[in-house]
Amino acid sequence: MAHAKSVGCSHKGVELPAPGLPSTASANWQGAYDDTHRLLCKNLKTPNVFFRGYRARPATPFRAAYLWDTAFITQIWRHWDPSMAQKLLDYVFRFQRKSGLIHHAIAEILVKPLPQRATQPPLLSWAAWRVFEKSQDHSWLEGAYPKLKKYQDWLRLERRHPDGLYFWHDPYESGIDNSPRFANRNESFFDDTRRMAAVDMSSYIVLSLEALEHIAEELGLHDEALAYNQEREALKATINARLWDAVSGSYHDWDYRKEDFIRIHTVSDLTPLVAGIPNEAQAALMVSRIMDPTKYNTLIPFPSVARDEKLFVKDMWRGPVWVNMAYLGILGMDRYGYKAEATELAYRLAGGVYDTWETEGSIYEFYDPDRTDIRELHRKKGNWWKKLTLGSKPVKGFVGWSGLVNALLQEFP
């Protein structure tokens, strides 16, 4: 049973009210929960003569529809209005290139993808399947499948190493720009990610192949479903053989130049969990690390770099909590049967976001794992261009994925 109050968005064509706050949640969260849905509606852009479709901004300063932001935003909308989630994905699909590439951002100024070769974390197939599970709209799924299939074909051709593992074209393609995996704090240095095997990219591909298998099976394309299954199982085996480090009991990126792991403990190392890659023993080790207060089980859980990692600092992807990655981590725990632990962290994550809203008055881009304010957080300290364009703190009014805390309360009642 949910609390009665809910938010509407009818002025933007959404006739259904937002889902109410579940009765299992604290009534003190009502204001932040409702404000999250209001921001989701505010950042929804309606069709007009220049933009022929609904699109979702993550926050006002970001005047574009971003690929992985859209994938995550649809996971919030699917609980409110699955048809709107479909429309947001359709907008991104419209700009797919003939090669199959779906670019990382469709800028509103140009009304087309920026002239770059980069994509973003390939979560569209995963997002589309989860939206369909809510909408049950077969006609929409039939239209989306060829585009998702073509995108996967492009990724296989353009982002796969000869050994079968996947890589990022550059750090920005990964979505986690200044991660210590491949950059310094102010981004004056970027490593060559094309010479690495990325554990998160490879895991996202496994997740995508699984979704494509489900979609193909749903559409009666049994041979194609079998081919995706076989490709997925082969990639899972390669990830376990090449990217599992028995010494640290964790997955890591692989550096082909040094022929060694990149042993920096980040939240990206946990992505195999949501993709179903580890065996039960490996998953147990990963969950034990997640539940360790010195690593990922902080006040607001899932810091982007393990709390006891020497490179941890409260700056963007070098320590702060990003709700999208926490969301994937929680789904991964649930996938392996750690329901109680997943629910605990889901509510602690939501509580941290909502308590920060009480302190600061907004929903933010990223969060402090140790506090419910933004005082100690930074944005790429020393990068003056970022300070000039986006400020030195996390962007407020951001539901590009921070709104996923509302989705978690629906998914873990």
> pTM for this structure?
0.97
pLDDT confidence bin for 107, thresholds 50/70/90:
confident
* Residue 94 reports pLDDT greater than 90: yes
pLDDT confidence bin for 3, thresholds 50/70/90:
low
Q: What is the 3-state secondary structure (H, E, C) of the chain?
A: CECCCCCCEHHHCECCCCCCCECCCCHHHHHHHHHHHHHHHHCEECCCCCCCCCEECCCCCCCEEEHHHHHHHHHHHHHHCHHHHHHHHHHHHCCCCCCCCCCCEEECCCCEECCCCCCCCCCHHHHHHHHHHHHCCHHHHHHHHHHHHHHHHHHHHHCECCCCCECCCCHHHHCCCCCCCCECCCCCCECCHHHEECHHHHHHHHHHHHHHHHHHHHCCCHHHHHHHHHHHHHHHHHHHHHCEECCCCEECEEECCCCEEECCCEHHHHHHHHCCCCCHHHHHHHHHHHCCCCCCCCCCCCECECCCCCCCCCEHHHCCECHHHHHHHHHHHHHCCCHHHHHHHHHHHHHHHHHHHHHHCCCECCECCCCCCCCCCECCCCCHHHHHHHCCCCCECCCCCCCHHHHHHHHCC
pLDDT confidence bin for 111, thresholds 50/70/90:
low
| Domain chopping of the chain, boundaries | 10-35+120-411
* Residue 113 reports pLDDT greater than 70: no
**Cα Rg of the chain, angstroms:** 20
- Tell me whether strands 112-113 and 196-197 are parallel, antiparallel or unpaired: unpaired
% of the chain exceeding 90 in pLDDT: 93
What pLDDT score does 51 carry? Answer: 85
Mean pLDDT, range 14-25, rounded to an integer: 95
pLDDT tens digits along 154-188: 999 999 999 999 999 999 999 999 999 999 999 99
% of the chain exceeding 70 in pLDDT: 97
Compute the distance between CA of residue 405 and CA of residue 368 in angstroms, rounded to an integer.
15
What pLDDT score does 26 carry? Answer: 95
Mean pLDDT, range 17-43, rounded to an integer: 96
What pLDDT score does 1 carry? Answer: 45
Within 10 A of 70 (CB to CB), how many other CB atoms are there?
27
Top-tier CATH class for 10-35+120-411? mainly alpha
Task: State the distance between the two ends of the chain, measured CA to CA, in whole angstroms.
Answer: 10
41-55, 139-153, 367-381: range with lowest mean pLDDT: 41-55
Within 10 A of 240 (CB to CB), how many other CB atoms are there?
15
Mean pLDDT, range 361-376, rounded to an integer: 98
* Residue 359 reports pLDDT greater than 90: yes
* Residue 115 reports pLDDT greater than 70: no
Compute the distance between CA of residue 278 and CA of residue 244 in angstroms, rounded to an integer.
9
Within 10 A of 98 (CB to CB), how many other CB atoms are there?
7
* Residue 5 reports pLDDT greater than 90: no
Compute the distance between CA of residue 128 and CA of residue 122 in angstroms, rounded to an integer.
11
Within 10 A of 161 (CB to CB), how many other CB atoms are there?
18
What pLDDT score does 114 carry? Answer: 65
Q: What is the 3-state secondary structure (H, E, C) of 308-373?
A: CCCCCCCEHHHCCECHHHHHHHHHHHHHCCCHHHHHHHHHHHHHHHHHHHHHHCCCECCECCCCCC
Report the amino acid identity of residue 19: P
| Phi, then psi, of 105 in degrees rounded to 5 | -155, 140
pLDDT tens digits along 36-67: 999 999 999 999 888 889 999 999 999 899 99
As given in the structure block, the two tokens for residue 390 are 């986006």
